[in-house]
Amino acid sequence: MLEIKTSSITDEYDVDWNQKLGTGISGPVRVATKRNTGEKFAIKVVVDRPKAQQEVQMHWNCSGHPHVVTLYEVFRNDLQFPGESESQSRLLLVLELMDGGELFFRISKQHGFTERHAAGTTMQIAMAVQHLHGKNIAHRDLKPENLLYKSSSENSPIKLCDFGFAKLDKGDLMTPQFTPYYVSPQVLEAQRRHRRERTSMNTNVPYTYDKSCDMWSLGVIIYILMCGYPPFYSEHPSSRRAIDRSMRRKIMNGTYNFPEREWARVSDRAKDVVRRLLCVDPHERMSIEELVQHSWLTEEAPDTLLQSPMYMANKTNLEEVAALHESHLRTMRIMERPIDLKPFESVVNPILVRRQQLTRQGENNSVFCPPPVEDPPSVESLRDVIAACLFPVEDHAKSKLTLENSVKVALSKNADNPSLKELVKKFSWNGDQFEMEVDFNQMSQEIKEILLIINNSRI
């Protein structure tokens, strides 16, 4: 049984109140050092309320598993932060420090990420979920931000964190708590019923869902692991709503596909896992016990190279998109200061651009990523080369032709840039076309470096 300490946390830990590791659903996370050992820990600070007490109890019940972030102890202290008129009772969770980064950012830096790697990653996540479901606990917020690596080492384990939405599943889960990309149809239906009940005198039996919502979220994560973008998306990404009508309809109907370019070499076993997890009927959806026994996880998966890191590779873009999503979730999180977001139109989002491309197929075979309005033609042309590398069309010959045409324009607009000329020569450019196959990902990275030098010179 968890015993919450009432002594001051500073008696045992030196807390760096200025260093934040991040902000969870219910509060910020800081770094602390245990005085008698020098060991580093993460300290999550939450206001002492019934919901926070539930989070602590859920996390404590699940702690101790190799793929769940360890909760060591909890303090109850009165704290007053800058800007507050008086102190408040807060719970301080002493957690295992995870230094290895979040799931998708870690993968975006990997070279040679294969289906076998994806299967191994999935098994670790599945083992964490199996541990929770074995205790009849629904996490209700499975997403890549809550899947952290212990360290930067290649063999570092991945662990599940943030139990702010976790709850014991007694068949009475009703609260529509979720993150847009990963929400199951049942939770969206709970949201719809919840809204209807608030505006009417409806006294029908409340709509409930169960821990199978975690399995849907896991299906979305696996889908993104395999190709780099989500199965369900908004047709109007500039919408201020977290989920617009088109995205809601796709989730409720389970409408998604396996685009040929990214999925052609993915094994049937992997696709079977995704299909059985992204099943609208929760009674037919794969359970966690069925998943950990599936042949994709129990037998050696193919060592096939995946394209997903290419879509996750640009850290800046992903951070901008994450910030945009964060603005959609402000009502669900404690935000300590307003976020200054760029206009959506100025953010080049690999995931959404790819989805827009798939939607427009048949109308044209190229993708135009609008550059900032003030960029000169030389910079615009380089951005077009990057776009041609990152977002090729289904037909490889057309992709190569689009890239070659973009390179010709870039060379003419950057005639006085020797670095660009040397770069294309390295990729066997003969002045009119590439004589050998081009590594699109490598070229895009090197063009970005040239673009960075040009932008720095303009500051």
Could you list the active site residues? 141
- At 42 the three-state DSSP class reads strand
Report DSSP state, residue 146: G
CB 247 within 8 A of CB 354: no
Contact criterion met (CB below 8 Å) for 306 and 118: yes
Distance separating alpha carbons of residues 92 and 76, to the nearest angstrom = 6
Cross-strand bridge partners of residue 79: 88
Q: Look up residue 173 and give its DSSP letter.
A: B
The partner residues of 95 in beta bridges, in order of sequence, read 42, 71
The answer to whether the beta carbons of residues 202 and 282 sit under 8 Å apart is no
Distances from the Cα of 408 to the Cαs of 386, 411, 421, in angstroms?
13, 5, 11
Q: How many CB atoms lie within 10 A of CB 436?
A: 8
Give yes or no for a contact between 154 and 247, defined as CB atoms under 8 angstroms apart.
no
Element (H, E) at 149: strand 147-149
Contacts 24+ apart (CB under 8 A), 84-90: 88/47, 88/48, 89/47, 89/48, 90/45, 90/46, 90/47, 90/48
Distance, in Å, from the CA atom of 227 to the CA atom of 309, rounded to the nearest integer, reads 8
- The span from the CA of 385 to the CA of 398, in Å, is 14
SS (H, E, C) 422-452: HHHHHCCECCCCECCCCCHHHHHHHHHHHHH
Residue 348 near residue 317 (C-beta atoms within 8 A): yes
Residues 6+ apart with CB under 8 A from 362: none
Closest alpha carbon to 325 in 243, 211, 446, 268: 243
C-beta neighbour count of 221 within 10 angstroms: 23
Q: How far apart are the first and last CA of the chain?
A: 58
Q: Note whether 389 and 407 are within 8 A (CB).
A: no
Rounded CA separation 294/273 (Å) = 8
